[in-house]
Chain A
Amino acid sequence: MAENKEARIGVFVCHCGTNIAGSIDVGAVAEYAKTLPNVVHADEYQYMCSTPGQTKIMDAIKEKDLTGVVVAACSPRLHEPTFRTASAEGGLNPFRFEMANIREQNSWVHMHDREGATEKAKDSVRIAVAKASLLEDLIPKSVPVEKAALVVGGGVAGMQAALDLGSAGIKTYLIEREPSIGGRMSQLDKTFPTLDCSQCILTPKMVDVGRHPNIELMTYTEVEEVEGYIGNFEVTLRKKARGVMFPDEAEAKGIVGGGCNGCGDCAEVCPVIKGNKFELDMAPRKAVYINHPQVMPLIYTVDFNTCIKCGLCVEACGDKKAIDLDMVDEFVKIKVGTAILATGYDLFPIENKTEWGYKKYENVITGLEFERLICASGPTGGHLIRPSDGETPKKVAFVLCAGSRDNTGVGKPYCSRFCCMYSLKHAHQIIEKIPGAQPYILYMDIRSFGKMYEEFYYRIQDEGAKFIRGRVANILEDATTKNLHVYTEDTLLQRPIDLEVDLVVLASAVQPSAGADTVRKLFGVSNSQDGWMLEAHPKLNPCGTTTAGVFLAGVCQGPKDIPDTVAQAEGAASAASIPIHMGQVDLEPYFAQCVEEKCAGCGMCVNLCPYSALALVEKEGRKVMQVTEAKCKGCGTCGGFCPGGAIRMQHFTTPQIVAQIDAFLLGGEQ
Chain B
Amino acid sequence: MAEEWKPKIIAIICNWCSYAGADLAGGARIQYPPDIRAIRVMCTGRIDPLFIMKAFQDGADGVLVSGCHFGDCHYLEGNYKAAKRMFLVKNVLKNIGLNDKRLRMTFVSASEGAKWAGVVEDVIKTVKELGPSPLKQFEK
Contact = CB atoms under 8 A, between A and B. Distances in A.
Interface of A: 75-78, 101, 103-106, 108-113, 116-117, 119-120, 123-124, 127, 521, 524, 526-529, 534, 546-547, 590, 608, 610, 633-637, 639-641, 649, 652, 654, 657-658, 660-662, 664-666
Given A547-B74, A657-B41, A639 B46 contact: yes
B16 interface: yes
B39 A111 contact: no
Contact of B16 (A546, A590, A654, A666): A546
Interface string B13-49: 0011101101111110111111101111111011110
B123 interface: no
A527 B81 CA distance: 22
Contacts of A127: 37, 39
**Most chain-A Cβ atoms within 10 A of its Cβ — which of B30, B37, B58, B59?**
B37
7 contacts: A110-B31, A110-B33, A117-B34, A635-B42, A636-B43, A652-B46, A666-B58
B71 A521 contact: yes
B55 A526 contact: no
B67 to A, nearest CB: 11
Contacts of A108: 26-27, 29
A120 B40 contact: no
Contacts of B66: none
Nearest to B11: A105
A558 to B, nearest CB: 12
B27 A635 contact: no
Contact of B46 (A103, A106, A124, A640): A640
Contacts of B42: 590, 634-636, 652
A117 B38 CA distance: 13
Contacts of B41: 636, 652, 657
B45 A124 contact: no
Contacts of A634: 42
A3 to B, nearest CB: 15
Contacts of A105: 22-23, 25-26, 38
A658 B109 CA distance: 25
Given A640-B45, A658-B51, A608 B81 contact: yes
A162 to B, nearest CB: 27
Contacts of B58: 661-662, 665-666
B74 A104 contact: no
B89 to A, nearest CB: 12
A105 B38 CA distance: 9
A610 B23 CA distance: 27
Given A546-B16, A635-B43, A661-B10, 7 more contacts: A109-B25, A116-B33, A124-B37, A610-B76, A635-B42, A636-B42, A657-B46
B111 A526 contact: yes
Interface string B99-125: 000000000011110000100000000
Contacts of A640: 45-48, 81-82, 85
Contacts, number: 158
A113 B39 CA distance: 21
A610 B77 contact: yes
**Most chain-B Cβ atoms within 10 A of its Cβ — which of A521, A652, A664, A666?**
A664
A104 B60 contact: no
A526 B72 contact: yes
A641 B81 contact: yes
Given A546-B74, A635-B42, A636-B46, A658 B54 contact: yes
B31 A112 contact: yes
A75 B26 contact: yes
B26 A103 contact: yes
A608 to B, nearest CB: 7
B72 to A, nearest CB: 7
B5 to A, nearest CB: 13
B128 interface: no
A524 B76 contact: yes
A402 B115 CA distance: 28
B9 to A, nearest CB: 10
A661 B37 CA distance: 10
A101 B27 CA distance: 13
A637 to B, nearest CB: 3
A633 B75 contact: yes
Contacts of A124: 37
B32 A109 contact: yes
A643 B124 CA distance: 32
Contacts of B77: 610, 637
Nearest to B27: A104
A109 B76 contact: no
B76 A111 contact: no
A60 B33 CA distance: 35
B70 to A, nearest CB: 11
A384 B38 CA distance: 61
A194 to B, nearest CB: 35
Given A75-B26, A665-B8, A649 B46 contact: yes
A530 B38 CA distance: 27
A83 B106 CA distance: 31
Contacts of A103: 26
Contacts of B22: 104-105
B51 A528 contact: no
Nearest to A637: B45
A77 B24 CA distance: 11
Contact of B29 (A109, A113, A649): A109
A608 B30 CA distance: 37
A109 B26 contact: yes
A11 B126 CA distance: 34
Contacts of B15: 77
Given A120-B34, A652-B46, A637 B75 contact: yes
B85 A113 contact: no
Contacts of A110: 31-34
A649 B48 CA distance: 12
Nearest to B30: A109
Given A664-B10, A665-B58, A111 B46 contact: no
Interface in B60-99: 60, 68, 71-72, 74-78, 81-82, 85
A119 B45 CA distance: 30
6 closest A-B pairs by beta carbon, nearest first, are A636-B46, A104-B26, A637-B45, A635-B75, A665-B58, A108-B26
A278 to B, nearest CB: 32
A117 B78 CA distance: 32
Contacts of B10: 661, 664-665
Given A661-B58, A664-B8, A654 B39 contact: no
Contacts of B60: 661, 665
B127 to A, nearest CB: 14
A608 B76 CA distance: 11
A637 B54 contact: no
Contacts of A652: 41-42, 46
A119 B35 CA distance: 9
A103 B40 CA distance: 15
Nearest to A120: B34
B34 A116 contact: yes
